[in-house]
Amino acid sequence: MTDHEWSQRHLSHYVEGDLGRHARRRLDRHARDCVDCGRGLRAVRALTQALGALDGLAGPYAPAGIFDRVRPAGRGGPAAPQTA
């Protein structure tokens, strides 16, 4: 895998802070020299910030316990959502 391919695959991990120090440095170094990855890095960063802002807006209004109802279905639990 080339540095470019690797960087493209790890852009979102980089922005989310999921990469180790070594991996971050590798992506940093590549993004400085690569127009595509530099642009990609900024785009993913902007997207992450936008999503974070949305989370901040939606968070306080999410009904309590909504995730308890959603998760079982996602795991292959009961297909019918509990409406009570």
Q: Which residues sit at the interface with Zn ion, rule CB under 5 A?
A: 4, 7, 34, 36-37
CB 60, min distance to Zn ion, A: 39
**61 is written with which tokens?**
């209004």
CB 17, min distance to Zn ion, A: 20
CB 36, min distance to Zn ion, A: 5
Helices assigned H by DSSP within the chain: 3-16, 21-33, 35-58, 66-74
Residue placing its CB nearer to Zn ion in the complex, 7 or 14: 7
CA–CA dist 34, 40 (Å, integer): 10
